[in-house]
């Protein structure tokens, strides 16, 4: 049994992680004798590196999986990475540009070769970083969203949904990035507040001298207007319904339609309808059978439908159109307007809503069972407030655009006949050699790939072998808990739920544990632009993985954001040192006891003292409470209880209580003290292990030899035999007395080295019995030269100071606490100093020049000092009077 003098995480963490891997402790195989518990990792992008969000997310998962593993579950934490189609493609294009190579010139096949090379070189980087954090994933099962098994699952789902009529190809509004020239998902659109304008424009009414005023933030899209709309209940405009207006610049007539989509209170109450460039307008256009005119090219320039503006960049066209409207006298006014603008999170380009021919998933039917899963209780969110977010999104869901104009990703399994245009959707093994409609052999596959979220939506079951009916799938699916941040609840969680139900008939997990963001110390979101991101690996390098993990969980409540402070990491490291030093103290005493032939073998509960039973009973209750908290996913509350118990009850109280017994070779209860120390230490190490796996493993393997790893040891359970409530109450009485004594001594500036007689007076025989039984450690904790326990105040002088507790009064002779002559001298010097300070403050505040010229803060500070010194002087005089 040996622990280094100083706790050095860098010396133990890598060594222990290698041991765990070699021993296959993380690996799970189907075992029908055990109940499974499964978590799937939110697969990090192969482009990514560990950030604080990853650190928090994976720490929470690791806590749960380690906890369940120790409880005896067959625990599987399924790891893997996501191909991150657009993020990876952007990275590779950047590399190619540095080499002077254009993606188009390279060609698809050569580009994909480069992509796979990039994946092999950089794709595993974040996995190694997760290992540094201590993540106990089953790395033997590591998956990738574009591996062979996931490819088959994606292809199978696409074909099945197409055959069912749930996947279709059509013209609809999508998020279009003019820079990357692809559709992007809602998850990749970041809304930023930008300063813009409302341009108010008059549209002339046909056959009248009247004008109708509209307001728009995107004047360039008016080139594609096919109507203006008013609310049918708006009395101001009822007379216009059915009439036509002249679209300025384009000079064509477009109808005035009535639609309840129009907000009468917003703007002028009249809106331009551009079905090809706005999702709401698109729906209005469908209701009124309006023409859809796209006026933009893929690169954000105006196309041939824009007439004389064709070829111009969208923002150049905006300026030119505004200028022409001004010249035509149709520009009413320009208002400043701050609004949310969607930008692509990768390239920061403003996203253009555009109508494109794309592949979509029909969502109305698939959303229904996902809604029912929550309402029926098959699925629950922790905390419950995210139910509303989930339901709101599903109940207002739009069809999902799943095609991307990229090369890296799952290529859409759709084939086209070049001669007759027939579309054939088929699995790769069944790819058509000729058209089933016209017999042509001129067939080509769709160039587009699928949205990354399409494959990650299948993650809980595709990683377990689906669509094959594997043993793993049957045993480990559905999974149990999904841990993720609230920022991707819509994009990933919901898609996994409806995909899981649709493909397997089962909800993919029963609980979704939602955590918040890790913000900087000022509460700001960590970002590259602010330069306030903190590298978890830097924290680990400086303080160790355990300290980082402990910091991320302490004070953490489900769904809430947290702030990162370096001071808190320092405090976590200090806590680790406390545990380490307490363990070394115990080992040192075990070694010394062994040299003297003292053994803990054969110690019975009946051998324990009151103090032993107190700490054992407290540790017993702690196990029950921590287990209850963890089962409710209150991980932050559980770890705070552990912290308080280990630091205060175990280290600051119990260890101090047993020192007199450990240092006395004649004490017959020494073995009981050692047994209790070891038993309670092992108990708390096990409870702490999911949070701080490395330090607990190192200590555990040094303080006992019965088990080879804390990872595979059993989780502590409440034992009725360890319930010593009477002894708990007794020791709590002792602690109350010690606190009272220490407060009195502190108030009198008595150093701990100054011993004094302590007299416990109580009419209650039970209370007296408590102090008589605890005399040895009570004397140590109370800095007592002698402890007397009596029924009345006989023999106690009038000069004794006292501390009152429930059922007793504790007395200490004043003369034993304080050298009266020295204390009088000290207080007289303090009186002199305070009088000088009061005179100085009063002089400044009575000086008209100071009061009129000094800053208000300085005057306030001096007033506060005067009040403080006056109060202190009164206390000093009171003490002097008592002493004299």
Q: Is there a binding annotation on residue 34?
A: no
**What whole-number distance in Å separates Cα of residue 41 and Cα of residue 39?**
6
Return the bridge partners of 801, or none. 812
C-alpha–C-alpha distance, residues 183 and 620, integer Å: 57
What is the rounded distance in angstroms from the CA atom of residue 461 to the CA atom of residue 153?
Answer: 9
d(CA 354, CA 375): 36
DSSP state, 521? T
> How many residues does the structure list for the chain?
884
Phi, psi of 676 (to 5 degrees): -65, -45
Place of tokens 């002199």: 832
Pairing of strands 189-204, 211-216: antiparallel
Bond preceding residue 567 cis, omega within 30 of 0: no
H/E segment holding residue 684: helix 670-688
Q: How many Å apart are CA 284 and CA 638, to the nearest integer? A: 53
Quickly count: other Cβ atoms within 10 Å of residue 371's Cβ.
18
Q: Percent helix, strand, coil in the chain (nearest 5)?
A: 50, 20, 35
Residue 757: C-alpha distances to residues 744, 751, 779, 811 (Å): 14, 15, 9, 8
DSSP string covering 355-373, please? EEEEEEE--HHHHHHHHHH
**Rounded Cα distance, 207 and 243, in Å:** 9
Burial of 332 (0-12, 13-18, 19+ CB in 10 A): middle
- Cβ atoms < 10 Å from Cβ of 687: 27
First to last CA, the chain: 58
Token couple for 222 = 């008016």
Peptide bond before residue 478 is cis, with ω within 30 degrees of 0: yes
* Residue 201 vs residues 195, 338, 657: alpha-carbon distances, Å: 19, 19, 84
Tokens of 196: 């813009």
Q: Which two tokens stand for residue 55?
A: 């650190």
> Which element (helix H / strand E) includes 456?
helix 452-456
Residue keyed to tokens 């331009």: 272
* Cross-strand bridge partners of residue 252: 247
Distance (Å, whole) CA 349 – CA 300: 10
As given in the structure block, the two tokens for residue 243 are 């009439």
Q: For residues 532 and 526, is the Cβ–Cβ distance under 8 A?
A: yes
In this structure, the strands spanning 252-258 and 244-247 are antiparallel
Token reading at 203: 């549209």
Tokens 């320009």 belong to residue: 334
Kindly give, in sequence order, each residue whose CB lies less than 8 Å from that of residue 264, ignoring residues fewer than 6 positions away.
231, 233, 234
Burial 382-412 (b: 16+ CB within 10 A, else e): beeebeebbeebbeebebbbbbbbbbbbbbb
Instruction: Quote the CA–CA distance of 881 and 884 in Å, as a whole number.
Output: 5
Cα 883 off chain centre by? 59
Cβ–Cβ < 8 Å for 238, 256:
no
Residue 569 · residue 547 · CB < 8 Å: yes
Q: Which residues are annotated as a binding site?
A: 528
Q: Which residues are annotated as a binding site for ATP?
A: 528
């Amino acid at each position: 049994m040996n622990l280094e003098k100083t706790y050095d995480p860098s010396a133990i963490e890598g060594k222990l992680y290698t041991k765990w891997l070699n021993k296959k402790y993380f690996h799970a195989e189907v075992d029908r004798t055990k109940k499974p518990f499964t978590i799937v990792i939110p697969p990090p992008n192969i482009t990514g590196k560990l950030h604080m969000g990853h650190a928090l997310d994976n720490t929470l998962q690791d806590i749960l999986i380690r906890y369940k593993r120790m409880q005896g579950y067959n625990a599987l934490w399924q790891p893997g990475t996501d191909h991150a189609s657009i993020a990876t493609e952007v990275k590779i294009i950047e590399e190619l540009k540095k080499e002077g190579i254009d993606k188009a010139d390279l060609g698809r096949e050569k580009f994909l070769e480069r992509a796979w090379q990039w994946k092999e070189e950089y794709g595993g980087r974040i996995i190694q970083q997760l290992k540094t954090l201590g993540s106990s994933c089953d790395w033997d099962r590591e998956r990738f969203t574009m591996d062979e098994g996931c490819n088959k699952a994606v292809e199978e789902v696409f074909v099945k949904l197409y055959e069912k009529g749930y996947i279709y190809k059509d013209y609809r509004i999508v998020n279009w990035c003019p820079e990357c020239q692809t559709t992007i998902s809602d998850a990749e659109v970041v809304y930023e507040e930008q300063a813009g304008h409302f341009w108010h424009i008059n549209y002339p009414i046909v056959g009248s001298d009247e004008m109708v005023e509209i307001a728009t933030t995107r004047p360039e899209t008016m080139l594609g207007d096919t109507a203006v709309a008013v609310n049918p209940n708006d009395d101001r405009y009822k007379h216009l319904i059915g009439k036509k207006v002249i679209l300025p610049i384009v000079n064509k007539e477009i109808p005035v339609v009535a639609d309840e989509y129009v907000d009468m209170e917003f703007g002028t109450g009249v809106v331009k309808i551009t079905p090809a460039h706005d999702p709401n307008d698109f729906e209005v256009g469908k209701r009124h059978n309006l023409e859809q005119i796209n006026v933009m090219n893929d690169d954000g320039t105006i196309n041939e439908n824009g007439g004389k503006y064709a070829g111009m960049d969208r923002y150049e066209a905006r300026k030119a159109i505004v200028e022409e409207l001004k010249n035509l006298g149709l520009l009413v006014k320009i208002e400043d307007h701050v609004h949310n603008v969607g930008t692509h999170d990768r390239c920061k380009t403003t996203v253009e809503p555009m109508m494109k021919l794309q592949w979509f998933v029909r969502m109305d039917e698939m959303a229904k069972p996902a809604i029912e899963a929550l309402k029926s209780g098959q699925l629950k969110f922790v905390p419950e407030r995210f139910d509303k977010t989930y339901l709101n999104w599903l109940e207002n869901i739009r069809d999902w655009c799943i095609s991307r104009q990229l090369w890296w990703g799952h290529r859409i399994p759709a084939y086209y006949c070049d001669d007759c245009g027939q579309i054939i959707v088929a699995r790769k093994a069944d790819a058509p050699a000729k058209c089933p409609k016209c017999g042509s052999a001129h067939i080509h596959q769709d160039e587009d790939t699928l949205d990354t979220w399409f494959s990650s939506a299948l993650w809980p079951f595709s990683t377990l072998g689906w669509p094959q009916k594997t043993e793993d799938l049957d045993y480990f699916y559905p999974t149990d808990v999904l841990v993720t941040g609230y920022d991707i609840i819509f994009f990933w969680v919901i898609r996994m739920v409806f995909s899981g139900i649709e493909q397997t008939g089962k909800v993919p997990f029963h609980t979704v544990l939602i955590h918040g963001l890790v913000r900087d110390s000022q509460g700001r979101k960590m970002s590259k632009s602010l330069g306030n991101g903190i590298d978890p690996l830097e924290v680990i390098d400086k303080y160790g993985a355990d300290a980082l993990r402990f910091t991320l969980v302490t004070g953490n409540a489900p769904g809430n954001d947290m702030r990162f402070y370096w001071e808190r990491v320092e405090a976590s490291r200090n806590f680790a040192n406390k545990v380490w030093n307490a363990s070394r103290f115990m080992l040192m005493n075990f070694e010394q006891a062994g040299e003297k032939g003292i053994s803990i073998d054969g110690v019975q509960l009946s051998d324990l003292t009151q103090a032993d039973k107190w700490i054992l009973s407290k540790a017993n209750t702690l196990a029950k409470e921590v287990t209850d908290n963890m089962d409710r996913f209150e991980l932050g509350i559980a770890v705070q209880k552990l912290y308080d118990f280990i630091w205060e009850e175990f280290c600051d109280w119990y260890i101090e209580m047993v020192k007199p017994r450990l240092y006395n070779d004649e004490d017959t209860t020494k073995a009981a003290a050692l047994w209790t120390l070891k038993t309670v230490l092992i108990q708390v190490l096990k409870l702490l292990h999911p949070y701080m796996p490395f330090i607990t493993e190192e200590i555990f393997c040094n303080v006992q030899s019965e088990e080879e790893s804390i990872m595979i040891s059993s989780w502590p359970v409440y034992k009725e035999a360890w319930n010593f409530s009477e002894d708990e109450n007794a020791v709590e009485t002792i602690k109350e007395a010690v606190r009272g004594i220490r407060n009195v001594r502190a108030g009198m500036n008595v150093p701990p080295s100054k011993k004094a007689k302590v007299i416990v007076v109580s009419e209650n025989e039970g209370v007296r019995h408590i102090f008589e039984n605890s005399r040895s450690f009570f004397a140590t904790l109370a800095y007592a030269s002698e402890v007397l326990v009596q029924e009345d105040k006989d023999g106690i002088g009038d000069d004794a100071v006292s501390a009152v507790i429930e059922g007793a009064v504790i007395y200490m002779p004043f003369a034993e606490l304080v050298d009266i002559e020295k204390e009088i001298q000290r207080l007289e010097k303090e009186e002199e100093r305070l009088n000088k300070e009061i005179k100085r403050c009063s002089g400044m505040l009575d000086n008209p020049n100071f009061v009129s010229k000094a800053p208000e803060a300085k005057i306030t500070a001096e007033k506060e000092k005067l009040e403080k010194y006056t109060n202190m002087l009164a206390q000093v005089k009171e003490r002097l009077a008592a002493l004299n």
